[in-house]
Amino acid sequence: MKKITFILFLSGVSMVSLAQDFTIKGKLAGQGNEKITLRGVDSEIKVEAVNDAFELTGTAADEPFVTFLNTGLDRNTYLGGGKTGMYTPAQPLMVVISKGANLTITGTAKDLHQAMVTGDDLNEGFNEVRKLEKKPQDEFAALQAQLTESRIMGVTDAIKEIGPKMLAVRKSMSEARKKYIKTHPDAFASIFFLSMDAKEYRLGELDSVYNGLSDKYKNTRPGKGLASKIASLKVIRDGGPAPDFAKPDINGKSVKLSDFRGKYVLLDFWGSWCAPCRAANPHLKELYAQYAAKGFEIVGVASEKVSGQEQAEKMWKAAVEKDGLTWTNLLNNEKEMQQDVTAMYSIEGYPTQILLDKEGKIIARWLGAAGAQLDDKLKALFN
């Protein structure tokens, strides 16, 4: 059996000790000798299994961290057109890494996302959620297969019937998670899934459920992120001052949002990978040229969909240069990130644009490019 030792950079803490703080042993029926991949914040480690079995060891951070295990087997759901057509990526297996953990993974490679992870209480909570979701997940997969077949055959009546059923199954999975969170206030899985599913809650309900959890894991990264999200949503609701933050600009200099007090500021949440974001840039350039001298500033906050900071910086800087963005550009992917601005501002889609007044209070917020609405706001403010 091949074995690999590595260092993970977890939760913004760079670990330099070579001690093997955790071990993951697994056996997945049908895995054969295919590769197993473990993704961390700043690393992606691959090891070849031998006769379905594999072993990973590494160094963990001081707090629990959820990482993702995947197999080299093709488990994607293809939506017509074969493997060159559209597809839904297969779900990975969530695994909680912690210091001293000695974990065992069992299940099948085909249904890796439903495998069991034993060895500590942290992962046991995720096992319970997986058990609750298994039946609806299987139902959803079956409906998705029916939908694909109906599309290929052009049976429109079947498509109309299957869509609402899929939505109902998704709702049942959401309700199952909500029930688990309420009945397991001490579990790490509860605060993790609440942070993941925050958009499924109204603000009052989200605040109430969060306050109903124990303090045990509120100081972890998902706990802090959730607290920031709730605080941000309250500010947005009340039109209060936007939460301050500091991020590195294109030259590596730390820039604070509060540095722009006295100007009207448009926070533009975007990414190099986001086609609608890039398509909105030419109009933003026109607005910046028209109003910058009058006291208007744009602060772009980029979030790149890559695991490492080096690649994130490369993609971000290339997009800034290609699109000719001359305003302040910040990156939300720094390795030792202290503030996740997307969580702080409850960003659920890209682009999201937020307009602030001279005191840093929120005037307006748009999911998607603001377009004519932003034009009207700026005309009213400056003319």
pLDDT classification of 341: cutoffs 50, 70, 90: confident
pLDDT at res. 6 = 32
Q: Structure pTM?
A: 0.67
pLDDT classification of 20: cutoffs 50, 70, 90: low
pLDDT at res. 2 = 38
pLDDT at res. 60 = 84
Phi, psi dihedrals of residue 97, rounded to the nearest 5°: -100, 135
Phi, psi dihedrals of residue 48, rounded to the nearest 5°: -85, 130
188 and 98 in contact (C-beta within 8 Å)?
no
How do residues 163-219 score in pLDDT, each as one tens digit?
889 899 989 999 999 999 999 999 999 999 999 898 888 889 999 999 999 999 999
Q: How far apart are CA 268 and CA 320, in angstroms?
A: 13
How do residues 349-367 score in pLDDT, each as one tens digit?
899 999 999 999 998 889 8
Which candidate, 216, 191, 189, places its Cα nearest to that of 124? 189
Does the pLDDT value for residue 301 go beyond 80? Answer: yes
pLDDT classification of 285: cutoffs 50, 70, 90: very high
Average model confidence (pLDDT) across the chain: 86
Q: Which two tokens stand for residue 160?
A: 């109309």
pLDDT classification of 259: cutoffs 50, 70, 90: very high
* Topology classification of domain 246-382: Glutaredoxin (3.40.30)
How do residues 308-318 score in pLDDT, each as one tens digit?
778 888 999 99
CATH superfamily for domain 3-182: Carboxypeptidase-like, regulatory domain (2.60.40.1120)
Phi, psi dihedrals of residue 215, rounded to the nearest 5°: -80, 0
Q: Where are the domains of the chain?
A: 3-182, 246-382
Does the pLDDT value for residue 271 go beyond 90? Answer: yes
pLDDT at res. 335 = 61
Does the pLDDT value for residue 258 go beyond 80? Answer: yes
pLDDT at res. 14 = 34
pLDDT at res. 71 = 94
